[in-house]
Chain A
Amino acid sequence: MMDALLNALPHAFAPSSLLAVLIGTIAGLLVGALPGLTVTTGLAVLIPLTFGMDPLFALGMMAGMYNGGSYGGAIPAILLRVPGTPASVATLMDGYEMTKQGKAAYALQVAVVSGVIGSVLSALALIGLAPLLVKLSLMFGPAEYFWVAILGLATVASLLGDDLLKGLMAAFIGLLIGTMGTDLATGTERYTFGRLEFAEGMDIVVLLTALFAIPPVIQMIETAGHKGMSKELLNLRKQGSVLKDWRRFLPIWMRSSVIGIIIGILPGAGGSMSCYLAYNDAKQRSKDPDSFGKGNPDGVAASECGNGADNAASLIPALSLGIPGSGVAAVILGGLLVHGLRPGPQLFTEHPDVVYGFMLQMLISAVLLYFVGGLAATRIFGQVLRLPHVVLAPLILMFVAIGVYAVNNSTFDLYLLLGIGLIAYVMERLDYPSPPIILGVILGPIAEGQLSLALTISGGHPLALIASPMSMIVVTLTVLILAMPIWGMWKKRSRAAV
């Protein structure tokens, strides 16, 4: 492997390859930052254009787009409370609060540095540990996935907010919305109201945008502020350097990266789960868990680091087995195919230059992201906040409208946006938290589908669900995640009693 890596070095660091990675990273930032556009869309447009190009040039653009796009979603989430992807919801919770406190520049810095660290560690794992991690990923079958989904749902405990009852209701609403659409196992269409648009369930991007972007826009109109954020609040230097605070973030980065890498190698678990798990982990280990959701930079660091760590790791099963660990990895596989590179065990022996070159490009793009996303983009995007709120509100609506339309190219989704936006506004006024809804919508269907699969495979024996050691490990983790807040509360109470 070392030989192959060394051979690939000059190819990956050739000027044309570096240029490709740079272009890809900038393009990725852009599609990630615009609601409704995703890395998948960007790649789908890019791939046919790469016909006849040098494979490493094409792959460099893909690598850049993957890393750039995954961070790009954090920018509108932090600045405008418009999550571009389900993954940026966990970032938004503390990031937008920081913006409201005038720490937008610092929040973006935390996000980009954490994202870069996650992506770099993930790329290193891809280069060094791929064979080992592939074996780990194969240990997960339907029963294990069911427990992973339950583990993800258990993190709802850290998203519930101050009012437990309303947090739970939000989760149940999400789980109910998650049942919409065709049930894979029986072909039954549930709660589709006869609309084909609902046959595959509620579109997650439409839901996200309506839940998170509409209420603050309406609030901007209600308060009708004629001033934007002052220049002082947006100054980067005065808010301290994230790199100088590395001691504070280091433990979070390490744990979030491990979480992101493990979730990344599991196909079907999805990138957003790593953000929620990392966020939950950081909150539970924090000395001051109550400050999460109120502008704690640790929350942004955990979520973005987990998000970045998911990227390269999801390519591990993709490259070595042809099993993509995420939707984006699946599209990248398509891109490899166009260049005659068939993923699978033989890829590493047949095209070592290209494979290791591509892995190095993932690493390069992660580092480039720091310069492109951190310094340049933060300054440019930060200027948006200086617009007066009454001017900014319609501009956000313009982006939201075109973004929501672009998801399915359907105006039906726009009316859906209006309806859900109205409900979201009422929920926001009554302090119902929105993140548990998203968690329920994403993980509910995974839990149901995998449970049904596991029972089909075992012939209906429920005990098969906990038969494997891996199942038992995940179950134990779930119990721990649920027990820790209760343990914390009990300790607090007994201390108060003394």
Chain B
Amino acid sequence: MAVNSSPTRKQGEIGFAAVLLAVAGAAFLGAGDYPGASGTYPRVFAICLGICAMLVILRAVMQSAPGDDAPFFTHLGRFLLGFGVLGFYILAIDTIGYVIPSLILGIALPLALRFRDLRMAVLASFATMAFILVVFVVILKRPLPADVLDPLLGMLR
């Protein structure tokens, strides 16, 4: 897929409403297992959501609105970069801890977006990290995710 072949807004509109319709259907069927009012209550909302989703699809198909053909993503490449980075960041937190991935994120992301002031990125990341560690670890003694730097962090507590 080419980096800038974004779907149009109209396609996005119909696609997302279809997803919501499917979710409503699944929620309705899932509620069948719940006894009495426990099941009826969510079913009501599932039906309402489903009807609204169908109306949105109908409206999108029947009428044309200004901006229908505009691309759904303003910049598909950077959108993918943004969510890719967030995904990797979270995965990294889960595997090697919070401190190192955060510092890498804070310095590398601006560089990837052609920001040239390395000094500012480094300073801002380290200052933020120091602040977070002081508040969360030193003062409030909140646990951080299991970290490869744990022996080091243990000294702060």
Contact = CB atoms under 8 A, between A and B. Distances in A.
Q: Would A and B touch once assembled, by the CB under 8 A criterion? A: yes
Interface in A143-197: 165-166, 168-169, 172-173, 175-176, 179, 183, 185-186, 188, 190-191
Contact of A394 (B72, B106, B120): B106
Interface stretch (A315-323, A349-357, A384-392): A384-392
A457 to B, nearest CB: 15
A390 B115 contact: yes
Nearest to A447: B41
B109 to A, nearest CB: 5
Interface residues of A, number: 59
Contacts of B49: 169, 172-173, 176
Nearest to A163: B56
A190 B78 CA distance: 37
A418 interface: yes
Contact of A388 (B55, B78, B115, B135): B115
Interface stretch (A61-69, A92-100, A420-428): A420-428
A93 B20 CA distance: 25
Interface in B75-104: 75, 78-79, 81-83, 85-87, 89-90, 93-94, 98, 102
Interface stretch (A1-9, A238-246, A291-299, A405-413): A405-413
Contacts of A221: 78-79, 81-82, 85, 109, 113
Contacts of B142: 37, 41, 406, 409
A191 B37 contact: no
Contacts of B125: 394-395, 398
A394 B98 contact: no
B62 to A, nearest CB: 13
Contacts of A222: 73-75, 78-79, 82
Interface in B14-68: 16, 20, 24, 27, 30-31, 34-38, 41-42, 45-46, 48-49, 52-53, 55-56, 59
Contacts of B144: 402, 405
Interface string A225-250: 01000000000000000000000000
Interface residues of B, number: 66
A165 B20 CA distance: 13
Contacts of B81: 221
A399 interface: yes
Contacts of A31: 140
A169 B53 contact: yes
A154 B117 CA distance: 50
A134 B98 CA distance: 47
A406 B37 contact: no
A450 to B, nearest CB: 13
Given A176-B49, A429-B72, A166 B106 contact: no
A78 to B, nearest CB: 19
B143 interface: yes
Contacts of A406: 136, 142
B93 A186 contact: no
Contacts of B4: none
A45 B75 CA distance: 45
B132 A399 contact: yes
Given A186-B36, A411-B145, A172 B45 contact: yes
A111 interface: no
Most B CB atoms within 10 A — which of A176, A409, A411, A414?
A176
A414 B94 contact: yes
A34 interface: yes
A186 B38 contact: yes
Contacts of B105: 394, 397-398
B31 to A, nearest CB: 7
A418 B115 contact: no
B86 A166 contact: no
A452 interface: yes
B124 interface: yes
Q: Lowest 3 A-B CB distances belong to which pairs?
A: A221-B82, A172-B49, A179-B42
21 contacts: A30-B135, A41-B140, A45-B141, A165-B55, A169-B56, A185-B37, A188-B35, A190-B34, A190-B42, A191-B30, A391-B115, A394-B105, A394-B110, A401-B89, A402-B144, A414-B93, A415-B90, A418-B86, A422-B83, A429-B9, A429-B73
Interface of B: 9, 12-13, 16, 20, 24, 27, 30-31, 34-38, 41-42, 45-46, 48-49, 52-53, 55-56, 59, 72-75, 78-79, 81-83, 85-87, 89-90, 93-94, 98, 102, 105-106, 109-110, 113-115, 117, 120-121, 124-125, 128-129, 132, 135-136, 140-145
